[in-house]
Amino acid sequence: MNQLRIGMIGYKFMGKAHSNAYRSLPMFFPKALKPEMKAICGRNASAVQEAAEQLGWNESVTDWRELIQRDDIDLIDINAPSDAHKEIAIAAAKAGKHIFCEKPLALTLADAREMLQAAEDAGVRHMVGFNYRFSPAVRLAKKLVDSGRLGQIYHFRAWFLQDWIMDPQFPLVWRLQKEVAGSGSHGDLGAHLIDLAHYLVGDMQEVIGMSETFIKERPIASEMTGLSAKGSGDGPKGKVTVDDATLFLTRFENGALGSFEATRFAAGHRSTNAFEINGSLGSVIFDFERMNELEVYFTSDEEDVQGFRRVLATDPVHDYMEAWWPPGHTIGFEHTFIHEVLELSQAISEGRQPVPSFEDGVKCQAVLEAVDKSIEERRWVSLLEM
Amino acid sequence: MNQLRIGMIGYKFMGKAHSNAYRSLPMFFPKALKPEMKAICGRNASAVQEAAEQLGWNESVTDWRELIQRDDIDLIDINAPSDAHKEIAIAAAKAGKHIFCEKPLALTLADAREMLQAAEDAGVRHMVGFNYRFSPAVRLAKKLVDSGRLGQIYHFRAWFLQDWIMDPQFPLVWRLQKEVAGSGSHGDLGAHLIDLAHYLVGDMQEVIGMSETFIKERPIASEMTGLSAKGSGDGPKGKVTVDDATLFLTRFENGALGSFEATRFAAGHRSTNAFEINGSLGSVIFDFERMNELEVYFTSDEEDVQGFRRVLATDPVHDYMEAWWPPGHTIGFEHTFIHEVLELSQAISEGRQPVPSFEDGVKCQAVLEAVDKSIEERRWVSLLEM
Amino acid sequence: MNQLRIGMIGYKFMGKAHSNAYRSLPMFFPKALKPEMKAICGRNASAVQEAAEQLGWNESVTDWRELIQRDDIDLIDINAPSDAHKEIAIAAAKAGKHIFCEKPLALTLADAREMLQAAEDAGVRHMVGFNYRFSPAVRLAKKLVDSGRLGQIYHFRAWFLQDWIMDPQFPLVWRLQKEVAGSGSHGDLGAHLIDLAHYLVGDMQEVIGMSETFIKERPIASEMTGLSAKGSGDGPKGKVTVDDATLFLTRFENGALGSFEATRFAAGHRSTNAFEINGSLGSVIFDFERMNELEVYFTSDEEDVQGFRRVLATDPVHDYMEAWWPPGHTIGFEHTFIHEVLELSQAISEGRQPVPSFEDGVKCQAVLEAVDKSIEERRWVSLLEM
Amino acid sequence: MNQLRIGMIGYKFMGKAHSNAYRSLPMFFPKALKPEMKAICGRNASAVQEAAEQLGWNESVTDWRELIQRDDIDLIDINAPSDAHKEIAIAAAKAGKHIFCEKPLALTLADAREMLQAAEDAGVRHMVGFNYRFSPAVRLAKKLVDSGRLGQIYHFRAWFLQDWIMDPQFPLVWRLQKEVAGSGSHGDLGAHLIDLAHYLVGDMQEVIGMSETFIKERPIASEMTGLSAKGSGDGPKGKVTVDDATLFLTRFENGALGSFEATRFAAGHRSTNAFEINGSLGSVIFDFERMNELEVYFTSDEEDVQGFRRVLATDPVHDYMEAWWPPGHTIGFEHTFIHEVLELSQAISEGRQPVPSFEDGVKCQAVLEAVDKSIEERRWVSLLEM
């Protein structure tokens, strides 16, 4: 059995990214378990049927409860809107299916913990979709930290800047509604930064944050799909119930200081997902808009040639890159998902937990909620409280 | 008949890039003719069989002559070593097959012209693999030139810099042998620059060049595949018969001045494929290592905010990008091939020549050879002589 | 009387920068009041004598009290260590002298207010040395904000990153002693960022911060001068009493969100003094290591050429630049001081307050101290409390 | 006698740069001979008198022949228009004065050689104003080449791109008239690149070039000063007799290949004076618009962190920088002249030739003229022919 039989729930932006990843895996990583794209599930029968054809799934279905009970499915891939994650994940776990769930894992920390517990109780494999960990340049940062080549870490600063909802006439899509999305820039963008911080620096002690919703009302969306939507400026308006921007400070357990900013109101930044780490022996800088590059500095360089190196992480020495193209030939956004499902596939094949797992999802959710609490109560909140 | 049935000859670096492109087309450009990957052909039966499985071809074969005669094939994709292009292409044309041939089209201009003639005589579609035309940022440059937004073009300068054979112990692979590869950096890298110049600026009047082979002998390769090879420093050496670097100057027919440099001896440049255009109303700068970006300058900008803009060509307004990911989410090297086969597929579907066609391949070969002649005869060579 | 007769107290790093500025003013801004460099004052008679000769002062003196009483002096320039600012400035004001005082204005907010009061009571002109305001690229940012070309401001983020004391063997210079320096990275580096925020965005409502001293003990300095010092690793150690790094969040009165970070522990950053402003119509990015450049983005750019422009602020349209070199010929750090004394000179000549004045110094001190308070009391502190 | 008594001829752009350099030398390099700015000379008595006051010269004069005969002058600084260099320099040499002459040394190679001969015959010191050699980042490049840290040099490519005369209405200033300026972009901009090539790589064997005058007629200038001028679009036009752009290829004596481009028609480039060197062990990249930086690559870096380093050449280890500001605090265009006159002053004080001397000026002129000849005769021209 060299296959991984998949049922996927959701078929928009993330559904497309995951489908492409499953489809690409055998060509570039032929030794991995081969994903078999059994069935894709959505509420709108004709739309999901069309998606199945385009994205290469054998079958389309509309009842996720049926799907998770099928014997010919090993793994449930959940990329439906965030408010649906919990119910599906718990049911899938009970049905003995491995689970690959998009981030944020859940709308609340309590929900996330329930999901983790369910998966552990069922003994299934679980993974959460923090795809940015799988950029080769980010892996290099991780390697430099873990090997001690950056020394003791003093600073982590990260910012995820977008500008796609700056127009006040941009409609009230589901990502701007707290009951569906959980939160705004914080949970959508900040969550990625938090996970990278956990991955690269470690756990946090305490946090304090600040957030704002700059545009408080928006036209009701008449139609929406993926990240885009249509609405009329003349039509009725609804209240934006999530944050447009959230910033927070943190102190890590290892003594490093952290600064985070997530915003959808940074004009000119389509998707600047960036971080910098400063250690006693060196620093690294990453920006996803130039995802093939990592800037690296070492204090040990000869004194007349000290400076940040622009490392193009496309040489075979870098994680995953031997499978791709010759040095200097770059990869893009979608490759993070291919590497992500490689880890998923390898972990299942090797009988171990994939990383990041639901535990990482829970940990991220704890920080998100601690920050929310710190904003509400206007005080530092310890992660121990969560 | 919404399909394009393909037989491919060659299965290494370019074979993989083309296979991935065929496989990806339906998912991202579902309205295009659907490539059906019928058969892949190579001399080594077991290697090509393995490639067929990994790359997703229905069948593997070893006799290309048989392949081009099959009734269930519409298009022959030629990415075998350059010395095989001519014979295959002419035979494929005679067999009434459309042809997609990797660059350089042929080892000589005469051969390239024969191939074009054969394709025209047979009334088949023909395309040559100048994939860099299909970067969205390059398309933007083209759009700015063609619309007159850069004004009259004064300068085109281009350089394709690599460093993969700088080690004198790197073995004598086929790309370093004139009889197989035709030329070295000139035909491999310079050809891309020449095609971009034709695409963006227009035809050339005359050229004068200079070239060098810095490492004149190398270890005989005991084994080689794609771009890499193994050889022993102690073993026998053979003569490098191609150029390590070739530079040339040109005057375009529209009066612009051009400067070209192709080298495999530029330490630190894994694959810097870059050009700049200066016109009377503005300039653009492109570097394939940051292929999602185009730097753009307009003289008409307000005088206090004049400067090169870093345009991230990932917005839906840019060619092809609506099919991919949200703004700010980048694509990579392989996407140029997907867009290339989109053009191939659309052209065949619409009953027109794809662009770039063998004519563009011939035009490029004419410049390559004019430069060679200018080097040999140490004089300016007019394109009219070719 | 077309002259400005100056007595300067202090002759190290800032003394040199100020001297050069006075000396350069007439050559590049010949219409300004001409600085007459009358006397320089320091405690060490031979050292200050040597400085006078090198820096171009007519005379050297050792008693600042005498200096400020002299009739042939119009302006007292104070760049002695921070703990001396208050006494000198108040005495100078009482003696009817105009005052140019380096930042931070004082060790405490109370002291700063006393100094401002004394200057106002005496009716003298007063200026504080926030030199970064005088970079042409920063002036451009100011112009874009004030003219509304960036729209409503949503975000200001700023970081001043250095690495000169990362070595634990670097000795305990005066800048690391609270009683002399007032604070560490916060007052030295953060103060500049705070002033830029006031200049570019406006007043703050409330702040919350975090700070750390990573290296808590250092060798006692046996000798120190300017920014450098000598100490022995084997010798006695003393306690570092200032912060190595301070971060804080703020909410501006206009609703913008601010994030600040000052650190001396960012390996590879010799002096990255950078900020970004995001508004509803555009953004700007500045980094002092590339001080001649401002990155500028406008939402109103045509949709196919949107991107940050690298504006090289050396054209004559940019503040001060007509006095310097042709476009594209850059200026450096010291020029900020020349422009600063130009403002000083013009204001005195025109009978108005120079900007930034002691009021700006007080306002900066209020934020510095509010941040300190927020750190001590672990809570948001309103500027109204200060 | 710790002084260097100077008489300067010319007082525009270069006159200002030199004056500032003389004036700054004692403050920043107090051990050097102290320039005494005795007299400045120009044809227009009132204009030169005004310049003397602004630029800090003791006296203004109008007869350069008298000036060079004065006993109280040690050095003649020539920055008058290029067609005046020869006569003045030879007369100054005969008068026993040291000579500092702006580039290009002369209008022709023959003239340049005569000047060198005259200086040698008289036994005076002579220097030519190739100021870019004196950027600390360029010195670092030189150090890396000379020490062998870049290995054998394979490539030198350089381009000096400006855009100040792109407007066809820009008038016919002296720099556009062959009889005064000698040549256009080639002698003005290309000369700097050629000198840097000599400095960094060595002598050339042969060259072949291409040039163009894009705008062939321009309004006669009614008034001109420095780089700017006024003219009327309606008024009479005159013929532009110099090149707007010149490109050439070269083969160096050490086997390296060179490519050069000088143009005043590169929209968006105010003054991009850039070069790259590729050697067997590494590469460097320099751009004067970011003159404090040198990008440096070493093949010997560990394989997972290979990349170009952005070295900010402001640390004390870099030439001249100890005299300036702390690390990370940049210098600008004018500093190249201060370092240049430091070399001049030190050489005179030490009784040796300054570098670059008239010999370097002659060598540069030989290449300029060889390129011109290669353009005229449409063939490769050996430097041995010159």
Provide the ipTM.
0.95
The secondary structure of A199-256 as a DSSP string is HHT--EEEEEEEEE-SS-EEEBEEEEETTEEEE-TTS-EEE--S-SEEEEEEEETTS-
Q: List chain C residues with CB under 8 Å of D16.
A: 27
Residue in chain B lying closest to C298 (CA): B305
Cβ-based neighbours of C127, under 8 Å, separated by 6 or more: C99, C100, C101, C340, C343, C344, C347, C354, C355, C356, C357, C358
CB of C148 less than 8 A from some CB of A: no
Q: List chain D residues with CB under 8 Å of B166.
A: 280, 299
CB of A355 less than 8 A from some CB of D: no
Interchain CB contacts (distance < 8 Å): A and D? 56
The answer to whether A157 touches C159, Cβ cutoff 8 Å, is yes
For residue B174, the model assigns a pLDDT of: 85
- End-to-end distance of chain D based on CA atoms, in angstroms? 42
Q: What is the DSSP letter of C132?
A: G
Residue with tokens 């870098």: A318
For residue range B67-76, what is the model confidence (pLDDT) as tens digits?
999 999 999 9
Rounded Cα–Cα distance for residues A286 and A144 (Å): 13
User: What's the mean pLDDT when you consider all of chain B?
Assistant: 95
Distance of CA A4 to the CA centre of its chain: 22
For residue A227, the model assigns a pLDDT of: 58
Can you read off the two tokens belonging to residue A56? 């290469």
DSSP three-state, residue B356: coil
CATH architecture observed for domain D3-130? 3-Layer(aba) Sandwich (3.40)
CB of C60 less than 8 A from some CB of A: no
Type of residue numbered A35: P
What totals of helices (H) and strands (E) does chain A contain, helices first? 11, 19
DSSP three-state, residue C108: coil
pLDDT band at A199 (very low <50, low <70, confident <90, very high): very high
pLDDT band at A134 (very low <50, low <70, confident <90, very high): very high
Partners of A326 in beta bridges: none
For residue range A85-104, what is the model confidence (pLDDT) as tens digits?
999 999 999 999 999 999 99
For residue B100, is pLDDT > 70?
yes
Cβ-based neighbours of C376, under 8 Å, separated by 6 or more: none
Phi/psi of residue B299, nearest 5 degrees: -65, -20
**A210/C251 Cβ within 8 A:** yes
How would you label A154-165 residue by residue, b for 16+ Cβ within 10 Å and e otherwise? bbbbbbbbbbbb
Residue in chain B lying closest to A56 (CA): B27
For residue D302, the model assigns a pLDDT of: 98
Rounded Cα–Cα distance for residues D74 and D52 (Å): 18
For residue D52, is pLDDT > 60?
yes
Instruction: Mark residue C10 as left, alpha or beta (left: phi above 0; alpha: psi -120 to 50; beta: remaining).
Output: left
Q: Sign of dihedral through CA atoms B99, B105, B110, B113?
A: positive
Rounded Cα–Cα distance for residues A23 and B24 (Å): 9
- Best CA proximity match to A365, nearest among A101, A80, A105, A182: A105
For residue A175, the model assigns a pLDDT of: 87
For residue C310, the model assigns a pLDDT of: 98
For residue B66, the model assigns a pLDDT of: 97
Type of residue numbered B96: G
Average confidence (pLDDT) over B125-151: 98
Cβ-based neighbours of D242, under 8 Å, separated by 6 or more: D175, D176, D177, D178, D181, D182, D183, D184, D185, D186, D187, D213
Average confidence (pLDDT) over D89-111: 96
Distance of CA C202 to the CA centre of its chain: 17
Half-sphere exposure of A93 (CA within 13 A, CB side): 23
Q: List chain D residues with CB under 8 Å of C333.
A: 325, 329-331
The answer to whether D193 touches D245, Cβ cutoff 8 Å, is no
Average confidence (pLDDT) over B72-99: 97
Angle between helix D109-122 and helix D85-94 axes, rounded to 10 deg = 10
Rounded Cα–Cα distance for residues A219 and A231 (Å): 6
The secondary structure of A309-375 as a DSSP string is EEEETTSTTSTTGGGS-STT----HHHHHHHHHHHHHHHHHHTS--SS-HHHHHHHHHHHHHHHHHH
Residues of chain D above pLDDT 70, percent: 97
**D304/A315 Cβ within 8 A:** yes
pLDDT band at C182 (very low <50, low <70, confident <90, very high): confident
CB of B205 less than 8 A from some CB of A: no
Q: List chain D residues with CB under 8 Å of B255.
A: 212, 214
Q: List chain B residues with CB under 8 Å of C146.
A: none
CB of B321 less than 8 A from some CB of C: no
Highest CATH level, class, for B3-131: alpha beta
Q: List chain A residues with CB under 8 Å of B333.
A: 325, 329-331
Instruction: Mark residue C20 as left, alpha or beta (left: phi above 0; alpha: psi -120 to 50; beta: remaining).
Output: alpha
Same topology between domain B3-131 and domain B133-355+364-377: no
For residue range C73-84, what is the model confidence (pLDDT) as tens digits?
999 999 998 899
User: What's the mean pLDDT when you consider all of chain D?
Assistant: 95
Q: List chain A residues with CB under 8 Å of D298.
A: 305
Three-state SS letters, D140-169: HHHHHHHCCCCCCEEEEEEEEECCCCCCCC
Reported in sequence order, the residue ranges of B264-350 that DSSP labels E, i.e. its strands, are 272-279, 282-287, 293-298, 307-312
CB of D297 less than 8 A from some CB of C: no
CB of B333 less than 8 A from some CB of A: yes
**A307/D310 Cβ within 8 A:** yes
For residue C226, the model assigns a pLDDT of: 53
For residue B86, is pLDDT > 60?
yes
For residue B161, the model assigns a pLDDT of: 98
Average confidence (pLDDT) over C310-333: 97
Highest CATH level, class, for C133-355+364-377: alpha beta
- Best CA proximity match to D263, nearest among A359, B154, A204: B154
Q: In what order do the strands lie in the sheet with D59-61?
A: D59-61, D34-41, D3-9, D75-78, D98-101, D126-128
For residue D168, is pLDDT > 80?
yes
Find which of C295, C303, C305, C330 to mutate to test the B interface (most B CBs within 10 Å of its CB).
C305
Rounded to a whole number, what is the largest CA-CA distance in chain C?
66
CATH architecture observed for domain A3-129? 3-Layer(aba) Sandwich (3.40)
For residue D383, the model assigns a pLDDT of: 98
Cα distances (angstroms) measured from residue C381 to each of A258, A370, C109, C178, C377? 20, 20, 15, 22, 9
Reported in sequence order, the residue ranges of D26-123 that DSSP labels E, i.e. its strands, are 34-41, 59-61, 75-78, 98-101
- Best CA proximity match to B12, nearest among A326, A32, A321: A326
For residue B232, the model assigns a pLDDT of: 59
For residue range D7-33, what is the model confidence (pLDDT) as tens digits?
999 999 999 999 999 999 999 999 999
Average confidence (pLDDT) over B310-330: 97
For residue A231, is pLDDT > 70?
no
User: What's the mean pLDDT when you consider all of chain C?
Assistant: 95
Q: In what order do the strands lie in the sheet with A98-101?
A: A59-61, A34-41, A3-9, A75-78, A98-101, A126-128
Strand B153-161 and strand B98-101: the pairing is unpaired
For residue range D318-350, what is the model confidence (pLDDT) as tens digits?
999 999 999 999 999 999 999 999 999 999 999
Residue in chain C lying closest to D29 (CA): C54
Domain boundaries, chain A: 3-129, 133-355+364-377
Neighbour tally for D301: CB within 10 Å: 18
CA distance D349 to chain A (A): 29
Can you read off the two tokens belonging to residue C155? 């975000």
- Best CA proximity match to C16, nearest among C43, C46, C53, C67: C53
- End-to-end distance of chain B based on CA atoms, in angstroms? 42
Strand A221-225 and strand C272-279: the pairing is unpaired
For residue range C44-56, what is the model confidence (pLDDT) as tens digits?
999 999 999 999 9
> If residue D279 lies in a helix (H) or strand (E), which one and from where to where?
strand D272-279
Average confidence (pLDDT) over A130-136: 98
Average confidence (pLDDT) over A123-127: 98
For residue range B227-271, what is the model confidence (pLDDT) as tens digits?
556 665 677 999 999 999 999 999 999 999 999 999 999 999 999
The answer to whether B152 touches B280, Cβ cutoff 8 Å, is yes
Find which of D162, D193, D283, D374 to mutate to test the B interface (most B CBs within 10 Å of its CB).
D283
For residue C175, the model assigns a pLDDT of: 87
pLDDT band at C101 (very low <50, low <70, confident <90, very high): very high
Find which of D269, D270, D273 to mutate to test the C interface (most C CBs within 10 Å of its CB).
D270
Rounded Cα–Cα distance for residues D24 and D29 (Å): 8
The answer to whether B296 touches C308, Cβ cutoff 8 Å, is no
Q: List chain C residues with CB under 8 Å of A306.
A: 268
Can you read off the two tokens belonging to residue C316? 């004559």
For residue range C264-293, what is the model confidence (pLDDT) as tens digits?
999 999 999 999 999 999 999 999 999 999
Cβ-based neighbours of D259, under 8 Å, separated by 6 or more: B247, B259, B261, D155, D156, D157, D158, D247, D248, D249, D250
CA distance B116 to chain C (A): 36
Can you read off the two tokens belonging to residue B286? 């492109």
The answer to whether C307 touches B144, Cβ cutoff 8 Å, is no
For residue C228, the model assigns a pLDDT of: 59
Rounded Cα–Cα distance for residues A48 and A41 (Å): 7
Rounded Cα–Cα distance for residues B224 and B238 (Å): 15
- For the purposes of burial, counting CB atoms within 10 Å of the CB of A44, is it exposed (0-12), middle (13-18) or buried (19 or more)? exposed
pLDDT band at D181 (very low <50, low <70, confident <90, very high): confident
For residue range B158-197, what is the model confidence (pLDDT) as tens digits?
999 999 999 999 999 888 999 888 899 999 999 999 999 9
Average confidence (pLDDT) over A240-260: 97
CA distance C230 to chain D (A): 16
Residues of chain C above pLDDT 90, percent: 92
For residue D367, is pLDDT > 80?
yes
Average confidence (pLDDT) over D181-199: 95
Q: What is the DSSP letter of C323?
A: G
CB of A47 less than 8 A from some CB of B: no
